[in-house]
Amino acid sequence: METVAAKKRVLFVDDEPNVLAGLRTRLHRYRSRWEMVFCQSGEEALQACAKEPFDVVVSDLRMPRMNGAELLRQIREKYPDTVRIVLSGEAEVQVGLRVAAEAHQFLAKPCDPSVLERAIERSCALQAELSDPALRQIVGRTDSLPSAPATYAAVTEALKDPRCSLEDIAKVIGADVGMSAMLLKLVNSAFFALPQPTSSIERAVGILGVETLRSLALGMGAFECFRCQQALGHCSIERLMAHSLAVGRLSKCMLNDPRQQEDAFTAGMLHDVGKLVLGARAPERLRSVFERAMQERLPMYMAEQQVSGVDHGMIGAYLLGLWNLPLSIVEAIANHHRPVWQAGQALDLALAVHLADVLIHESSPQSPDGCDQSLFFPDPRMVRELRLEESLPKWRALAGELSGAEVENP
């Protein structure tokens, strides 16, 4: 007998009865998939959550007594595995920056029902992929990603210097995983109304501009310095950043299509975001995985799969998917330790990131997480079936060069 999938619980919050009535009417056709609840205040919404938590909360910002940002802050603290979406008519970028820590996504009013549907359905699909509630809560509490202290200092100094160009700032930010992810989250929100999601750090910096970046970094503290090295166990955050940058550069070089190269760099740069999430938000869990990996001589992702059935690729993909980064990048990050291919196919984004990660590990004198580098090598069957025999020596040589730069500039 076929099991009927449980309806997803979705809470809509707006102080205007007409707005709620309009949502109820426009979304009526989704009632077979969603159990929808409509509340006119933040207080009423919290009472509804206390009775039975929701999968997704969609809230307005401007409401009397308790505004949307405060409501979402409380939901983040009390129900961290609930996906938080802002649906608001606010058009000021500064408003978006202030609420960025509390909301996973920002949608603009008036919102086409199909856009809202995609946001909710994508969020629910991501929740299904990351089935461990404890991990969803860890990711759900993540409002920012930490940066290496040296990079954090370089960015703040650059933003204080009126002589620094946007290109200079983009170069510094583009070498840091946490800052890159935060900027892409912001520029892919509805505030900037981009026709297509962007994966370009340089474009993100150009869209935001120096004043907004200065406000983010110096006024609102949106960028976070990683202060507790012990949280990463055997892993150095500087080595993690250098490894990520090397994987991004190699991924970009492995693809010939200019349209894919920017995505390849960004996906490679962000492929280990999940490690950063665990190091910052669940250090004990990360340390236990490191210990198992070292004791049993396993790559970290295998130790993770043994402990929880999920590796850091899926954890990072879950967060960046909630932040509405391009789907191709999210999928590449999710699968960078789980490559899928068919014989004879062309090298695609996900496979490039996987192979670049393996080759950088193989070429590096020291793993960013302390694991045995000899455990990493390209799958011979993949190389054969994708006909990569001629390209592999060239990529290996480039990986060696990038790994050397990684050691010189950790």
Domains of the chain: 8-129 (3.40.50.2300), 146-225 (no CATH), 234-408 (1.10.3210.10)
79 pLDDT more than 80: yes
Q: How confident is the model at residue 236 (pLDDT cuts 50, 70, 90)?
A: confident
d(CA 334, CA 318): 8
Please report which confidence band the pLDDT of residue 235 belongs to, taking 50, 70 and 90 as the band edges. low
Q: Report how far apart the first and last C-alpha atoms of the chain are (Å, whole number).
A: 56
pLDDT at 372 over 90: no
Residues 117 and 396: their CA atoms lie apart, in Å, by 44
Q: Tell me: the pLDDT tens digits for 278-317?
A: 988 888 888 888 888 888 888 889 999 998 889 999 999 9
- DSSP state letters, 326-374: -HHHHHHHHTTTS----TTPPP-HHHHHHHHHHHHHHH-SS-TTS--GG
pLDDT, position 410: 42
C-alpha–C-alpha distance, residues 190 and 200, integer Å = 17
Structure token digits, residue 338: 């789980």
Q: Quote the pLDDT of residue 271.
A: 96
Q: Give the range among 17-26, 104-113, 369-378 with minimum mean pLDDT.
A: 369-378
Per DSSP, helices labelled H in 52-176 are: 68-78, 93-99, 113-129, 133-140, 149-160, 166-173
The residue among 353, 346, 273 whose CA lies nearest residue 311 is 273
Please compute the mean of the pLDDT values over residues 228-253 and round it to a whole number: 79
Where is mean pLDDT largest: 165-174, 218-227, 236-245, 381-390?
A: 381-390
**Alpha carbons 355 and 351: distance in angstroms, whole number:** 6
Question: What's the whole-number average pLDDT of the chain?
Answer: 87
d(CA 126, CA 153): 34
What b/e string do you get for 228-246 counting C-beta neighbours within 10 Å, with b at 16 or more? eeebbbbbbbbbbbbbbbb
Tokens coding 91: 């058009």
pLDDT tens, position by position, 118-162:
999 999 999 999 988 999 999 998 888 888 778 878 888 888 888
Cα 45 from Cα 50, distance rounded (Å):
9
Query: Distance (Å, rounded) from C-alpha 39 to C-alpha 406?
Result: 52
The pLDDT of 104-112, averaged and rounded, is 88
What is d(CA 174, CA 92) in angstroms, rounded to the nearest whole number? 26
For the entire predicted model, the pTM comes to: 0.89
Band of pLDDT at residue 1, cut at 50, 70 and 90: very low
* Cα separation, 26 vs 7, whole angstroms: 18
The residues facing 9 across adjacent strands are: 35
What is the C-alpha radius of gyration for the chain, rounded to an integer number of angstroms? 22
Amino acid identity of residue 335, one-letter, is: N
pLDDT in tens, 253-271: 999 998 899 999 999 999 9
Tens digit of each residue's pLDDT (9 = 90 or more) over 197-206 = 889 999 999 9
Cα gap 222→216, rounded to integer Å:
5
pLDDT tens sequence across 345-366:
899 999 999 999 999 998 876 6
Give me the count of residues in the chain. Answer: 410
